[in-house]
Amino acid sequence: MPTEPISGSTPDLATPKIAPVHVPRRVPRSSARLVPLIAVALSLACASAPVRIERANPRAVQRDITSNVLSTGELSPRSRQVLERLSLRDDYEKQPVSTLSILHGQLATEGDHRRLSTLAELSFHYAERERDRTYYLLSAVYAYALLFPGPGQETLDASDPRIRLAYDLYNRALTEALTDDTGRVQFRAGRYPLPIGSVDIALDEEETFWAGHRMSDFIAAADYEVMGIRNRYRRPGLGAPVAAAALGEAVGPDAMPSERFMPGFRVPATAVLRIEDPRHAVKKGRFESRIELYTPDESAKVSIDGHDVPIEFETTSSLANSLAGSPFWDFELGGFFSGAVRPFKQAVTGTDLVDKPSRDEGLLFLAPYRPGLIPLVLVHGTASSPGRWADLVNELENERVIANRYQIWLFLYNTGNPIGYSGGLLRRALENAVADLDPEGKDPALRQMVVAGHSQGGLLTKLTAIDSGDRFWHEFSETPLDELALQPSVRETLRSSTYFAPEPFVKRVIFVCTPHRGSYLAGLSLASFSPAQWVGSLVALPSNLTQVFTDLVTNNQGKLVLRNMNRFPTSIDNMTPGNPFIRTLSEIPVAPGIAAHSIIAVAGDGPRERGSDGVVAYESAHIEGVVSELVVDSSHSAQGLPETIEEIRRILLVHATLHPQRR
């Protein structure tokens, strides 16, 4: 359609002829009266020039020239320009459907990239106004045709802001087109109508599986606000980010059991609608396409037209969605006062672990095991849960160099149990996981493990990295363990809770606010009242430990140091300064060959050597022989502090450098 001429005449650039000037001897009276009026008119004409410029706030100008339908709900300046140039702006406001049809009809056989950009935005704009899913899908189709025209076809320069807008329109429009009235994103094969024709969507059933589990209950990541996690990350790229439930029945021999994943876990996934020959399909109005689903552990890029295109992921949204309804929070205190490990894990995961015990019980995964990635194991503290690592997990998963070298595992345990007992559970879980995941020992990264623990979790972490010999056992008895009259299961429980050797696959440990010499809160006493004894008396130990205690006391009179005790010690007892367990543990150094780091919190001003975090004193958290020690200004819950996260990130980068990845 021809553009309308701009009003006003075009100046003659040729040199004008100069006419002779005649000066009359006397101006007529009527003409003389016109002179002031002409002067005023000329003055007004000069004062109201049609083109003006005024100084403005640069930020306001930037907002105006970069606004678009996604950011403000209004059309971008470039789409308005196309409408103006084609004399269609008023038509679009009055008859948007017919205007879109006119624009579509102007597309050449090969496609017009500028009109495609405008059509994508106008279709989304109209879909938003009418809540019409067919126009959302049409917007995604136009945007895809603009971005991926096919070999030899023309598109906009990569620096053009319409390219970024096309990605965003495709991602958001595809999400809206596939979202039903319940707010769930539905991925179904079939023929979908379009205002200009139709699109056939294929879907391979295998696309919906993750780690041997069928993904379901897809929700759009962009539809939810994230609270309680410091930073929200969105990896820019192509696709509709969703969060999916995937903890149903496992399918296939290589599927990971549901109980290995964090309870309520939602998988971050992204849907890409791949369209065949989009530029020609736009002209014909018939599209052939297929849905492809990607997860961060699978791939960060998708190949289109021979080019690697980044995939857009929303991992923070999925993490927050997983934790929002997690039973972790209810069981933080429940896990402290109830020592029954299996009932606790059963309630948290919703699985019957009594009938189907897990060899790596307590170990939770955030993604399927990936050979070549170093495990980072996070161990929470007292009356806490793995959910308290949310900020750290969020930051590390969105740090590409970290995510490409590490896989994060979480350890869940009942924090009221004796520390040696919980340490034995951690060791057994890690040993079984390594044996099950890599029985032939072909993955060296699995044996470069980093274990980090907060508070009591740091004490469990240390138990993976020391050679205790029989020092802990001697706190119970001078009689060798094998000479006592015990049931085999009791003997094995005692052995795993009192004898510790360095785990060969643990190469580095990180202590965060760890009470190596005990917690002064645990040892706080007032006259004859001891909070530790009172709290410890409320902790219900697991039935197998009750059996251990009964077996020891009943069948081994006179052979036990603890014969005068009326119950097994709890973790609070163990962390009381001067307690035999914490005293012995503090005296045993981290084994040679294992690097150790300390992150210590000290709240307030004053000398750090005399400070504390409100729970653990500096002098208790400080130990000799570590590679590094960082003191942060914080209370005891410092595991999510930016300084703590940055230090752990630094340590992981150093560790990755010392252990190059094998390809």
Give the model confidence (pLDDT) of 452-480 as tens digits: 999 999 999 999 999 999 999 888 788 88
Check pLDDT > 70 for residue 21: no
Q: pLDDT grade, residue 401 (50/70/90)?
A: very high
Q: pLDDT grade, residue 7 (50/70/90)?
A: very low
Alpha-carbon distance values, 382 to 66, 95, 586 (Å): 50, 65, 18
Helical ranges in 360-487 per DSSP H? 390-397, 400-403, 419-437, 456-462
Residue 66 CB-half CA count within 13 A: 9
Check pLDDT > 80 for residue 5: no
Whether 251 and 218 have beta carbons less than 8 Å apart is answered as: no
Nearest to 347 by CA among 363, 327, 319, 364: 327
Q: What gap in Å lies between CA 62 and CA 213, rounded to an integer?
A: 47
Whether 592 and 515 have beta carbons less than 8 Å apart is answered as: no
Check pLDDT > 80 for residue 536: no
| Contacts of the segment 330-334: beta carbons below 8 A, 24+ positions apart | 331/385, 332/383, 332/384, 332/385, 333/383
Higher-confidence position of 58 and 621: 621
Element (H, E) at 555: helix 543-555
pLDDT of residue 222: 87
The percent of residues in the chain predicted with pLDDT above 90, rounded, is: 60
Check pLDDT > 70 for residue 143: yes
Q: What mean pLDDT is reported for the chain?
A: 84
Q: pLDDT grade, residue 562 (50/70/90)?
A: low
Amino acid residing at 13:
L
pLDDT of residue 333: 67
Q: What gap in Å lies between CA 140 and CA 120, rounded to an integer?
A: 7
Contacts of 47 (CB under 8 A, 6+ apart): none
Contacts of 599 (CB under 8 A, 6+ apart): 510, 511, 512, 513, 629, 630, 632, 638, 644, 647, 648
Beta bridge partners of 244: 267
Q: What gap in Å lies between CA 262 and CA 412, rounded to an integer?
A: 10
Model confidence pLDDT, tens digit, residues 34-89: 566 566 555 555 556 788 788 888 888 888 888 999 999 999 999 999 999 999 99
Coil/strand/helix, residue 438: coil
Check pLDDT > 90 for residue 560: no
Whether 195 and 97 have beta carbons less than 8 Å apart is answered as: yes
Whether 127 and 169 have beta carbons less than 8 Å apart is answered as: no
Lowest mean pLDDT among 102-111, 267-276, 398-407: 102-111
Q: What gap in Å lies between CA 292 and CA 304, rounded to an integer?
A: 12
Nearest to 346 by CA among 192, 542, 521: 542
Beta bridge partners of 197: 194
* Full 3-state SS string of 459-482: HHHHCCCCCCCCCCHHHCCCCCHH
- What's 308's DSSP letter? E
- What's 242's DSSP letter? E
Instruction: Tell me the whole-structure pTM to 2 decimals.
Output: 0.85
Lowest mean pLDDT among 383-387, 519-523, 604-608: 519-523
Model confidence pLDDT, tens digit, residues 147-189: 998 877 778 888 999 999 999 999 999 999 999 999 999 999 9
Higher-confidence position of 500 and 59: 500
**Residue 248 dihedral angles phi and psi, to the nearest 5°:** -85, -160
Across residues 201-213, what is the average pLDDT? 92
pLDDT of residue 39: 60
Across residues 407-429, what is the average pLDDT? 94
Check pLDDT > 90 for residue 31: no
Q: pLDDT grade, residue 660 (50/70/90)?
A: confident
Check pLDDT > 50 for residue 354: no
- What's 462's DSSP letter? H
pLDDT of residue 356: 39
Nearest to 91 by CA among 79, 99, 82: 99
Lowest mean pLDDT among 1-5, 255-259, 381-385, 548-552: 1-5
Whether 394 and 381 have beta carbons less than 8 Å apart is answered as: no
pLDDT of residue 172: 97
pLDDT of residue 352: 38
Higher-confidence position of 320 and 335: 320
Across residues 596-624, what is the average pLDDT? 94
Whether 414 and 365 have beta carbons less than 8 Å apart is answered as: no
pLDDT of residue 29: 52
Contacts of 554 (CB under 8 A, 6+ apart): none
Coil/strand/helix, residue 646: helix
Check pLDDT > 70 for residue 8: no
